[in-house]
Amino acid sequence: MRIGVFICHCGSNIGGTVDCKSVAEESYAFPDVVFSTDTMYACSEPGQQGIIDAIKEHNLSGVVVASCTPRMHEPTFRRAVERAGLNRYMFEMANIREHVSWIGKNKDANTNKAAELVRMAVSKLRLNRDLHSKSFPVTKRVLVIGGGVAGIQAALDCADAGLDVVLVEREPSIGGKMSKLDKTFPTVDCSSCILGPRMVDVAQHPNITLYAAAEVESVSGYVGNFEVTVRKKATYVDWDKCTGCGLCTEKCPSKKSFDRFNEGVGPTTAIIIPFPQAIPKKASITRDACRQFTKGKCGVCAKICPTGAINYEQQDELVSMKVGGIVAATGYDLMDWTVYEEYGAGRYPDVITSLQYERLLSASGPTGGHVKRPSDGKEPKNVVFIQCVGSRDVSIGRPYCSGFCCMYTAKQAILTKDHIPDSQSFVFYMDIRSPGKGYDEFTRRVQEEYGAQYIRGRVSLIYPKGDKLIVRGVDTLMGGQQVDVEADLVVLAVGGEATQGSPQLAEKLRISYDSYGFFMEGHPKLKPVETNTAGVFLAGSCQGLKDIPSSVAQGSAAAAKAIGLLSKDMLASDPQIAQVDMKRCVGCGKCIQVCPFKAIKEVDVRGQIKAEVIETVCQGCGLCNATCPQGAVQLSHFTDNQILAEVEALCRF
């Protein structure tokens, strides 16, 4: 074998703490290496051309590039060696940037370690074989999980591009958090007026199938051909018959049910249509609140329904489908702010969340848009807003900024003045974070034109005194002076967290999530809507909290990725998969048990049970390889011999 080695300086990224030239010289001593050089940027156009020229000039049969992580540029270099006529798998990469130059300052030690990593790569490359992909057809259908504004955007863009779309929403209506908002910043235009038409588009689009009150039960398969099962939860109303007339919601005698859509501001009935613009506009029964279920008799809705749609016997239903790509757009929830004992931990009715305040402001909310405080229904005059409740607080394990609270608090202070002209708003803040088009101007307007008093400081205590709430904070711009504000209503700008069930869904989708439950993008800068699982994309706050414009942009971006993927008729499979040596296999089935992708099946070979890998399903994780007691399963490109050759290269002393 004739191996060429290229040591990349990556400018000063590697060259600063690794003597690349001497690594290149040392590499000449490694077995089968016939050419070695250092290069300023191996990934650049001239860098790649240098590799191609060397392959031709020195008749190389394999190439090692020592540079950055393979996550970054392995595909780049594989294409380069392919252009020079080699098989793309006759290439190995040694990571001397993330694993060497960025983590150590001792140049001698770094240079030594870099050379050892190159030696490992050379040892492995000597055992590499040509590998070839197979191609398989794709299913031109996209699953969008979550019908908030991000999911709606992704679904509409995919559908407009001609793809079939299945949109799955957990709640009985799509719309997400945006549908609960009264107005949006910084334009102060009506949220449901701009979202409503898009929701109707979803309902009417011939390419979109909508499953509301449904959740993803299981996902199997692989990019281009996922098998998805959706659980349609029992709503006890036959939605094919329901016309959304709302008679049942008027007559329902159980009127004390928790109103999820209105964030518990005021009660609702046991059978509900969540809000006037709901899509689908269908009724559903909250089982725990319904007298038919809790007391065994009532049946008022069944009697009143003109179409006979009520069905107390309805069961959950499972629907299976095949999709080529998946967009996760599951959004966020407000964190449980009652951990804050100093804010009353929920003991005081007039301390409410920002989302509850949106429902109080909204004309379609339970108070008809009149701001009435929960305790006694009085109109508040002094309204105190507290920012960063559950954001940027290490003490409760939430160090991140939720990103949108500064802006919506400014908006709510403006709306407060609009609704109650003789009111005064006070905003306790840490910093005003308002990067975005027209955002900073907006936060100035609320102070300069609407007279909201912004106080830079935290609140240490809220306590009731008579029918007022005393909000005690500090004004850090007034030399740390203590400030007591007598408030009629306190609105907490509660930060967001990954929506309930995010980790569980991530595991179904086999994508990564961070310690807060937010889904991990493929690369924080260059792959913002991809995941590390091929064919699964992200949109909106499930990836990290963001406001409406950013969520919509990500929805479109994820759609573009899905459309791009499914624009092909055939996809190439990855040949780095498991292979069973039939002669060694004893048919014990251990590999079948450990395979997380159900990619191994039993086959009968002349009366003997053997394992067989389903090539398009295998993801090349190597669990079967490590489990097989016979060493019969080998992972192509990562065989036992290749790994051992690397170990041997490292342990040669």
In the complex with another protein, which residue's Cβ is closer, 347 or 370?
A: 347
Smallest distance, another protein to C-beta of residue 476, A: 19
In the complex with another protein, which residue's Cβ is closer, 159 or 471?
A: 471
Closest CA to 281 of 149, 172, 165: 172
In the complex with another protein, which residue's Cβ is closer, 206 or 480?
A: 480
Q: Which of 341, 376, 431, 441 binds another protein (CB under 8 A)?
A: 341
- Residue 480 in contact with another protein, rule: CB under 8 A: no
At a CB cut-off of 8 Å and minimum separation 6, what does 197 contact? none
What 253-259 contacts at long range (C-beta under 8 Å, 24+ apart), as own/partner pairs, is 253/291, 253/298, 253/300, 254/289, 254/290, 254/291, 254/298, 256/289, 257/286, 257/288, 257/289, 258/286, 258/289, 259/366
In the complex with another protein, which residue's Cβ is closer, 201 or 475?
A: 475
In the complex with another protein, which residue's Cβ is closer, 98 or 484?
A: 484
Strands 481-487 and 91-95: unpaired
Smallest distance, another protein to C-beta of residue 346, A: 11
In the complex with another protein, which residue's Cβ is closer, 419 or 472?
A: 472
Could you tell me which stretch among 88-96, 335-343, 378-386, 535-543 binds another protein (CB under 8 A)?
335-343
Q: Contact at 8 Å (CB) between 100 and 13?
A: no
Q: Which of 465, 525, 583, 652 binds another protein (CB under 8 A)?
A: 465
In the complex with another protein, which residue's Cβ is closer, 315 or 460?
A: 460
SS3 of 290-352: the string is CHHHHCCCCCHHHHHCCCCCECCCCCCEEEEEEECEEEECCCEEECCHHHCHHHCCCCCCCEE
Smallest distance, another protein to C-beta of residue 536, A: 42
In the complex with another protein, which residue's Cβ is closer, 466 or 480?
A: 466
Say how far apart CA 264 and CA 334 lie, in whole Å: 13
Size of the site for another protein (CB under 8 A): 11
- Residue 342 in contact with another protein, rule: CB under 8 A: yes
Q: Where are the beta strands (DSSP E) in 543-614?
A: 570-572, 578-580, 600-605, 608-613
| Strand order through the sheet with 62-67 | 33-39, 3-8, 62-67, 91-95
Closest CA to 333 of 170, 203, 532: 170
Could you tell me which stretch among 16-24, 180-188, 344-352, 594-602 binds another protein (CB under 8 A)?
344-352
DSSP 257: B
Could you tell me which residues are beta bridge partners of residue 1? none
- Residue 461 in contact with another protein, rule: CB under 8 A: yes
- Residue 394 in contact with another protein, rule: CB under 8 A: no
In the complex with another protein, which residue's Cβ is closer, 40 or 470?
A: 470
Smallest distance, another protein to C-beta of residue 60, A: 60
Say how far apart CA 355 and CA 409 lie, in whole Å: 11
Smallest distance, another protein to C-beta of residue 464, A: 6
Smallest distance, another protein to C-beta of residue 479, A: 17
Which two three-digit tokens encode residue 646?
């690397």
Q: Which of 50, 267, 464, 501 binds another protein (CB under 8 A)?
A: 464
Smallest distance, another protein to C-beta of residue 468, A: 12
In the complex with another protein, which residue's Cβ is closer, 89 or 340?
A: 340
Smallest distance, another protein to C-beta of residue 97, A: 39
In the complex with another protein, which residue's Cβ is closer, 461 or 477?
A: 461
Site for another protein in 600-629 (CB under 8 A): none
- Residue 345 in contact with another protein, rule: CB under 8 A: yes
Smallest distance, another protein to C-beta of residue 395, A: 10
Smallest distance, another protein to C-beta of residue 344, A: 8
At a CB cut-off of 8 Å and minimum separation 6, what does 346 contact? 338
Say how far apart CA 133 and CA 118 lie, in whole Å: 27
Say how far apart CA 223 and CA 163 lie, in whole Å: 16
Burial of 10 (0-12, 13-18, 19+ CB in 10 A): buried
Closest CA to 65 of 171, 86, 419, 192: 86
- Residue 450 in contact with another protein, rule: CB under 8 A: no
Provide the H-helix boundaries in 100-148.
107-125
Closest CA to 386 of 401, 406, 365: 406
- Residue 647 in contact with another protein, rule: CB under 8 A: no
Nearest 5°: CA angle at 543, between 540 and 545?
A: 70
Residue 374: other Cβ atoms inside 10 A: 17
- Residue 336 in contact with another protein, rule: CB under 8 A: no
Smallest distance, another protein to C-beta of residue 393, A: 14
Q: Which of 102, 450, 463, 597 binds another protein (CB under 8 A)?
A: 463
Q: Contact at 8 Å (CB) between 238 and 314?
A: yes
Could you tell me which stretch among 205-213, 261-269, 325-333, 457-465 binds another protein (CB under 8 A)?
457-465
Residue with tokens 């089935």: 589
Smallest distance, another protein to C-beta of residue 338, A: 11
- Residue 466 in contact with another protein, rule: CB under 8 A: yes
- Residue 347 in contact with another protein, rule: CB under 8 A: yes
- Residue 375 in contact with another protein, rule: CB under 8 A: no
Could you tell me which stretch among 246-254, 338-346, 606-614, 625-633 binds another protein (CB under 8 A)?
338-346
Q: Which residues bind another protein (CB under 8 A)?
A: 340-342, 344-345, 347, 461, 463-466
